[in-house]
Chains A and B, each alone.
Chain A
Amino acid sequence: MSAVSDQEWTGRDVTIAQIEHELAQLRSDSMDMRTSVMTHIAWAPPEWQGAARDTLAGMAERHPSRTLLLFPQDDERDALDAEVSLQCYTHAELQRHVCTEVIELRLCGRVAQAPASVILPLVLPDVPVFLRWRGEPPFGEPVFEQLIDVVDRLVVDSREWEGAPACYAKLVEVFDRVAVSDIVWARTLRWRRAIAERGGGRQLRVRGPIQESSLLVGWLRSRLGHPVELEHTDADRIELAVLDGEEIRAREERPSASDLLSGELDRFSRDPIYESAVAAAL
């Protein structure tokens, strides 16, 4: 598929009714097919906004959805600013255009403290709601707590967090409230496959990010049911994994950030193996 057109509307200090009206207007101006299989929300503090947009580029083609980009920002105004667009693609096989909706919301001032009340009117009925939280979530704070109560799945990338594996303790506490995906977990997949082929193990040595290393050893501990010692040295990606002195060779894969997020958007229910791995990583 290839992008063919974007139609958009921008408003300052808007209401949800205005956003709905403009969306309806954009849709009625377009003869294209609207498709949504989910509502995809991204919470992106200012330092993450560029990355959030980059990751979402091309995502609509794989996961046609209504996308809500939530950008909290300090502002003297307590207001909601919005940019609403229809992003349309040519679907070669269908020989027609397919459109998805992107709503970029700037939550200004105190509006940023009540994001659930902004997104609830905008989530699509009957389809799952995914929340991609950029950066480390403020566990226990109202902003985070209210959002996880209104979504089906929380998607994080714990590489964006400080202090692994201790930081996972608070993540474990939300497992009973919302299904969780960690993109770090997806990054370990090829290593888990390779380790599973070898089997067993009491001691794991990893040269790679602490987050991947922690989840790998947590996974081993939880699957094997006995302690596994982790020896870790830092690197930007997993470069080496050695189990009980034997080097593990994993197939080379370098998925993009979009690929990794896309994979998580195909999951709907809780992943008990991941949850056990996180708990055992602590």
Chain B
Amino acid sequence: MFVIFGASGDLTRRKLLPALYALAYRKMLPERYAVLGSARSPMSSEEFRNAMEEAVRAHARVEFKQEVWDELAASTYYVPTEFGDDHMHDLVTEKLTELDREHGTEGNRLFYLAVPPSAIPMLIREIGERRADDGWSRVIVEKPFGLDLASAQRLNQEILRYFRENEVFRIDHYLGKETVQNMLALRFANGIFEPLWTRQYVDHVQITVAESIGIEGRAAFYEKLGASRDVFQNHLLQLVAITAMEPPIDFDADAVRNEKAKVLRATEVDAVVRGQYGAGYVEGKMVPGYREEEGVDPESTIETYVAAKLRIDTWRWADTPFYVRTGKRLPRRETTITIQFKRVPQSLFTHADGLRPNVLAIHVQPDEGVSLGIGAKVPGQGMTVRTVNMDFLYGGAFRTGLPEAYERLILDAMRGDPTLFTRADEIEEQWRIVDSFRTPWADQVPDFPNYDAGTWGTDEADELLHRDGRSWRRH
């Protein structure tokens, strides 16, 4: 039984139901299943199905086939709930019991909490106190998981009162992306990269999580979070962990997560800068600054951009900086992990002004794939050397559409595999890192806005690398 709390929200419409539909299309759903949506909005199951059919038609990755939807719709229901209302939760539980009988789901329940962070503790209690005796219960919790270390610890304690760690699936949808998983394949399925993946050969690492969109009407949400809590704390630090982790002993969930947790424990912030976008041009059109967005405080000090120099205190990465940045209203939507290798010790070539150090770039999105910049001789007379890129494009190699992250993650949660979900200790380490720079921010008044929409961020972010004799790679 797949139970969605917050079923009338955007996430359900844009991601969850389209993902379930894609799984149904690929015949990946279990033989016996049901979907129950629940939210404050009063509506019937029929109305919910109609709304979800529209959502699937608009957002599903695969083509719409009426027979596939009809089969999914026949097992899809809706019950209104008011969070914190015991009676209404009893009604949800009754409905679940009824659906268990109808669909033979044997009390197995996967709860997806697509609700605001403030509602999660209450919902956990309501669900936990009504756990079925039969079958298994698992809970998927959306980000942000807490707002700082203390609140994340409290939330973990609350969840672990009712669920065991292996029943909790803290979702970071970046981990469901094929290219993020491919990072593990790239590193640990190829003999040629791992020996070079150390401080001896790597000059530095850059990770960029860039969005070209603004806050898209989510002012109330974003004003509480900012870039450091919305993206840095989760997606960005998970990418750091996957890039820097030691080889796990196997691909078991805890083996992988142990190694990621070690990296996060060893990570410290050497320097950080923040920014907020002002008005500027994106795709040729003027867009408003953050403070001019609807619903945003005109004096807001919420950051829409963060760049940091991270230090990972391990034998593998000592003295090898990880420069990371994330922001909104940057020139393009792009997530890339870049490993820049050290220069050759001596340049033999006089005509080599087009030669740059080797760079291995893992393109998480868009243009999913890997490219390696290597020096090559320009054909013809003389010995002119320049950098050319060898591209491996996922789509070109496998010629198959990449599944949406949510498809993979929902399926993993149904199967009980938490490998691609974040464990409690990882979450808490991530908050420790973020708190280490957010806490001093509370006493400072930033001079915002300090970058124009449509640019790559603040001058201070450039300076962060320039003072080390480096620069952000060109995107």
In the bound complex, CA of A117 to CA of B330 (Å): 10
Q: Is the CB of A121 within 8 A of B367?
A: no
Q: List chain B residues, Cβ under 8 A from A16.
A: 212, 283, 332
Closest 8 CB pairs of A and B: A111-B284, A121-B332, A120-B331, A114-B281, A117-B281, A268-B354, A269-B353, A117-B454
Task: Say how far A153's CB is from chain B's closest CB, in angstroms.
Answer: 11
Q: Is the CB of A15 within 8 A of B336?
A: no
Q: Per-residue 0/1 for B325-353: is the Cβ within 8 Å of any A Cβ (1 yes, 0 no)?
A: 00000011100100000000000000001
Q: List chain B residues, Cβ under 8 A from A37.
A: 386, 388-389
B473 contacts the other chain (Cβ, under 8 Å)?
Answer: yes
In the bound complex, CA of A128 to CA of B371 (Å): 15
B194 contacts the other chain (Cβ, under 8 Å)?
Answer: no
Task: Say how far B177's CB is from chain A's closest CB, in angstroms.
Answer: 16
Q: 10 A-B residue contacts at CB 8 Å?
A: A20-B367, A111-B283, A114-B286, A117-B283, A117-B284, A117-B331, A121-B283, A127-B387, A129-B474, A269-B353
Q: Which residue of A lies closest to B456 (CB)?
A: A120
- Considering only residues 32-80 of chain A, those with a C-beta below 8 Å from chain B are 34, 36-37, 78, 80
A27 contacts the other chain (Cβ, under 8 Å)?
Answer: yes
- Please tell me which one of the listed residues A24, A117, A122, A266 contacts residue B395 in the complex, with CB atoms under 8 A apart: A24
Q: Is the CB of B366 within 8 A of A27?
A: no
Given contacts A27-B396, A268-B354, contact A120 B387 (CB under 8 A): no
Q: Which residue of B lies closest to A34 (CB)?
A: B391
Given contacts A125-B475, A126-B371, contact A114 B284 (CB under 8 A): yes
Q: Select the residue from A120, A125, A268 with max chain B CB neighbours within 10 A.
A: A125
Given contacts A78-B285, A117-B284, contact A28 B473 (CB under 8 A): no
A118 contacts the other chain (Cβ, under 8 Å)?
Answer: yes
Q: Select the residue from B356, B389, B395 with max chain A CB neighbours within 10 A.
A: B389
Q: How large is the interface on B (under 10, 10 to 19, 20 to 34, 35 or more residues)?
A: 35 or more
- Please tell me which one of the listed residues A24, A129, A268 contacts residue B367 in the complex, with CB atoms under 8 A apart: A24
- Considering only residues 142-168 of chain A, those with a C-beta below 8 Å from chain B are none
B45 contacts the other chain (Cβ, under 8 Å)?
Answer: no
In the bound complex, CA of A37 to CA of B391 (Å): 11
Task: Say how far A70's CB is from chain B's closest CB, in angstroms.
Answer: 11
In the bound complex, CA of A128 to CA of B396 (Å): 24
Q: List chain A residues, Cβ under 8 A from B117.
A: none
A201 contacts the other chain (Cβ, under 8 Å)?
Answer: no
Q: Per-residue 0/1 for B185-229: is the Cβ within 8 Å of any A Cβ (1 yes, 0 no)?
A: 000000000000000000000000000100000000000000000
In the bound complex, CA of A80 to CA of B282 (Å): 12
In the bound complex, CA of A113 to CA of B281 (Å): 10
Task: Say how far B220's CB is from chain A's closest CB, in angstroms.
Answer: 26
Q: Is the CB of A121 within 8 A of B331?
A: yes
B164 contacts the other chain (Cβ, under 8 Å)?
Answer: no
Q: How large is the interface on A (under 10, 10 to 19, 20 to 34, 35 or more residues)?
A: 35 or more
Q: List chain A residues, Cβ under 8 A from B336.
A: 125
Q: List chain A residues, Cβ under 8 A from B354.
A: 128, 268
Q: Is the CB of A125 within 8 A of B285?
A: no
Q: Is the CB of B353 within 8 A of A268?
A: yes
Q: Which residue of B lies closest to A16 (CB)?
A: B283
- Considering only residues 428-475 of chain B, those with a C-beta below 8 Å from chain A are 454, 473-475
Q: Is the CB of A126 within 8 A of B285?
A: no
Given contacts A78-B285, A121-B332, contact A126 B366 (CB under 8 A): no
- Please tell me which one of the listed residues B366, B393, B454 contacts residue A20 in the complex, with CB atoms under 8 A apart: B366
Q: Is the CB of A118 within 8 A of B212?
A: no
Q: Is the CB of A28 within 8 A of B395?
A: yes
Task: Say how far B262's CB is from chain A's closest CB, in angstroms.
Answer: 31
Q: List chain A residues, Cβ under 8 A from B388.
A: 37
Q: List chain B residues, Cβ under 8 A from A124.
A: 389
In the bound complex, CA of A3 to CA of B364 (Å): 32
A107 contacts the other chain (Cβ, under 8 Å)?
Answer: yes
B375 contacts the other chain (Cβ, under 8 Å)?
Answer: no
Task: Say how far A114's CB is from chain B's closest CB, in angstroms.
Answer: 4
Given contacts A80-B284, A121-B333, A266-B378, 12 further A-B contacts (CB under 8 A): A17-B333, A36-B389, A37-B388, A110-B286, A114-B285, A117-B282, A117-B454, A125-B336, A126-B356, A126-B474, A129-B474, A269-B353
Q: Per-residue 0/1 for A1-25: is the Cβ within 8 Å of any B Cβ (1 yes, 0 no)?
A: 0000000000000011100100010
Task: Say how far B396's CB is from chain A's closest CB, in angstroms.
Answer: 6
Binding site for B on A (CB under 8 A): 15-17, 20, 24, 27-28, 34, 36-37, 78, 80, 107, 110-112, 114-118, 120-129, 266-269
B314 contacts the other chain (Cβ, under 8 Å)?
Answer: no
In the bound complex, CA of A79 to CA of B1 (Å): 47
Task: Say how far A155's CB is from chain B's closest CB, in angstroms.
Answer: 15
Given contacts A126-B356, A127-B387, contact A118 B284 (CB under 8 A): yes
Q: List chain A residues, Cβ under 8 A from B282.
A: 117
Q: Which residue of B lies closest to A108 (CB)?
A: B284
In the bound complex, CA of A105 to CA of B371 (Å): 26
Q: Per-residue 0/1 for B366-408: is the Cβ within 8 Å of any A Cβ (1 yes, 0 no)?
A: 1100010100001000001011110101011001000000000
Q: List chain B residues, Cβ under 8 A from A116.
A: 281, 454
Task: Say how far A267's CB is from chain B's closest CB, in angstroms.
Answer: 8
Q: List chain A residues, Cβ under 8 A from B371.
A: 125-126
In the bound complex, CA of A110 to CA of B336 (Å): 32
Q: Select the residue from A78, A120, A122, A124 with max chain B CB neighbours within 10 A.
A: A120
In the bound complex, CA of A107 to CA of B281 (Å): 13
Q: Which residue of B lies closest to A109 (CB)?
A: B284
Q: List chain B residues, Cβ under 8 A from A36.
A: 389
Q: List chain B residues, Cβ under 8 A from A112.
A: 284
Q: Is the CB of B332 within 8 A of A126?
A: no
Task: Say how far B376's CB is from chain A's closest CB, in angstroms.
Answer: 9
B256 contacts the other chain (Cβ, under 8 Å)?
Answer: no
Q: List chain B residues, Cβ under 8 A from A125.
A: 336, 361, 371, 473-475
Q: Which residue of B lies closest to A115 (CB)?
A: B284
Task: Say how far B382's CB is from chain A's closest CB, in angstroms.
Answer: 11
Q: List chain A residues, Cβ under 8 A from B333.
A: 17, 121
Q: List chain B residues, Cβ under 8 A from A128.
A: 354
Q: Which residue of B lies closest to A64 (CB)?
A: B388
In the bound complex, CA of A126 to CA of B362 (Å): 12
Q: Is the CB of B389 within 8 A of A120?
A: no
In the bound complex, CA of A122 to CA of B454 (Å): 13
Q: Select the residue from B389, B474, B475 with max chain A CB neighbours within 10 A.
A: B474
In the bound complex, CA of A118 to CA of B454 (Å): 9
Task: Say how far B436's CB is from chain A's closest CB, in angstroms.
Answer: 31
Q: List chain B residues, Cβ under 8 A from A114.
A: 281, 284-286, 454
Q: Which residue of B lies closest to A80 (CB)?
A: B284
